[in-house]
Amino acid sequence: MAERYSDVQLAAFITAFASQPPDVAEVTSLTRAMVEVGDRLAWPGDVIVDKHCVGGLPANRTTPIVVAIAAAAGLTIPKTSSRAITSPAGTADTMETMAPVDLDLAAMRRVVDREGGCIVWGGSVALSPADDILIRVERTLDLDSDAQLVASVLSKKLAAGANHVLLDLPVGPTAKIRTAQGAEELGRQLIAVGARFGLKVHPMVTDGTQPVGRGIGPALEARDVLAVLRSDPDAPADLRARAVTLAGALLELGGGEGAGGGIARAAELLDNGRALAKFMAICDAQGGFREPQTAPLTQVIAAPRSGRVAAIDNRLLSRLAKLAGAPQAKTAGVDLHVKLEDPVERGAPLITLHGESRGEIEYARAFADTNPDIVRIVPR
């Protein structure tokens, strides 16, 4: 924070830290140091909840929906989110297409006091600001280690004043967490380090075999979020289901619902429009709601053969969206038109590229043409 180290030195630290097996005492020390150099919030009430996904799964944009449901249920959820590190969009990038996220601490307090929740960029409120310096270097290195992830996530939650945290851990062969064993180990680290600070951490292992929702990229993911909140008939069913499951678990963790009752309550708050009303109120409190924009350029990638979808490579799909311009170009990214095991006919749309420049669209198309297994189709 004193700016005594160059980016080269910071890169050496991050790389060395990532190359060693995680050590609870070491990660705890780093977490504490990161919290202590920034501001720290405190809120009235005994239960302050938060939700975080460790990432690695394209379009898994459940956070705005979960925050809206939790706040509508009466919980306090001061959500600070990051911008993309290695992905085509972070929650802050997506939320920014609908409402301002660069709020200072005073503004964040006003929003939470008024609406019970917020969705703001963590970098604008000086909560664990050292983490933002490390993330900037991690983004350049395209590196996001487990140990640094634990310190990053927990320092942000502690600084934001949370004491009950739900963590989404997607597991899949091309997700950030590849195996159930890896998720279990990461969950243990998060629980152990959180316990050193009196933080109740509840890891939740979820399906990471394929993207959640359709759009990948800030504005495209925002479109899907709004479709779920508005209960549109064509809203992505998998995004709604995952958001309801996570929100239900958070309601139970926060004591608002008994065991097993959270999912039904979360679904009710979506269906009766209270979650949408709360989301719009949060956007209004943060500076005003706006509809996400659409990209000026699109190009469809069609199925090269008939068959069924056997695999979807999350990492290649994320790379494709980034080549199309996401997250720097807010409307850029991709729409995925199929899910695992879907039947497809030759010539049917598989992916639609969205971009703001012809060059990026063509670059992304060239990448797709040389990586035909982004969506792998096998005979039925």
Rounded average pLDDT over 260-279: 96
Q: How far is CA 79 from CA 70, 150, 155, 158, 338, in A?
A: 11, 17, 13, 11, 31
Domain assignment present for residue 171? The answer is yes
Domain assignment present for residue 198? The answer is yes
One domain for residues 271 and 302: no
Which residues are within 8 A (CB) of 250 and not within 5 positions of it... i.e. 6 or more apart?
49, 51, 66, 70, 75, 166, 262
One domain for residues 70 and 131: yes
Given a cut of 80, is residue 144 above it in pLDDT? no
pLDDT of residue 123: 78
Given a cut of 80, is residue 259 above it in pLDDT? no
pLDDT of residue 54: 87
Domain assignment present for residue 87? The answer is yes
One domain for residues 246 and 327: no
Which residues are within 8 A (CB) of 175 and not within 5 positions of it... i.e. 6 or more apart?
56, 57, 208, 209, 314
One domain for residues 103 and 251: yes
Band of pLDDT at residue 73, cut at 50, 70 and 90: very high
At 1, is the secondary structure helix, strand, or coil? coil
pLDDT digit string, tens, across residues 334-377: 999 999 999 999 999 999 999 999 999 999 999 999 999 999 99
Domain count, the chain: 2
Q: pLDDT above 70 covers what percent of the chain?
A: 100
> For the chain, what is the total number of helices (H) and then of strands (E)?
14, 12
CATH number for the domain that contains residue 68 = 3.40.1030.10
Rounded average pLDDT over 301-325: 96
Q: What is d(CA 263, CA 276) in angstroms, rounded to the nearest whole number?
A: 17
pLDDT of residue 228: 98
CATH number for the domain that contains residue 345 = 3.90.1170.30
Closest C-alpha to 73, from 204, 229, 237, 262: 262
One domain for residues 120 and 147: yes
Ramachandran category for residue 161: left, alpha or beta (phi over 0 → left; psi -120 to 50 → alpha): left
The residues facing 202 across adjacent strands are: 166
pLDDT of residue 168: 96
Q: pLDDT above 90 covers what percent of the chain?
A: 82
Domain assignment present for residue 292? The answer is no
Closest C-alpha to 224, from 100, 39, 77, 89: 89
One domain for residues 74 and 189: yes
Q: Give the distance from CA 312 to its chain's centroid.
A: 19
One domain for residues 279 and 301: no
pLDDT of residue 56: 80
Element (DSSP H or E) covering residue 262: helix 262-271
One domain for residues 60 and 199: yes
Given a cut of 80, is residue 293 above it in pLDDT? yes
Q: What is d(CA 266, CA 246) in angstroms, rounded to the nearest whole number?
A: 9
**Catalytic residue positions, numbered:** 144
One domain for residues 25 and 140: yes
Domain assignment present for residue 327? The answer is yes
Band of pLDDT at residue 255, cut at 50, 70 and 90: confident
Domain assignment present for residue 12? The answer is yes
pTM over 0.85: yes
Rounded average pLDDT over 177-186: 92
At 236, is the secondary structure helix, strand, or coil? coil
**Domain span at residue 311?**
297-378
One domain for residues 103 and 127: yes
One domain for residues 333 and 225: no
One domain for residues 61 and 179: yes
pLDDT of residue 146: 85
Domain boundary among 286, 313, 337: 286
pLDDT digit string, tens, across residues 197-247: 999 999 999 999 999 999 999 999 999 999 999 999 999 999 999 999 999
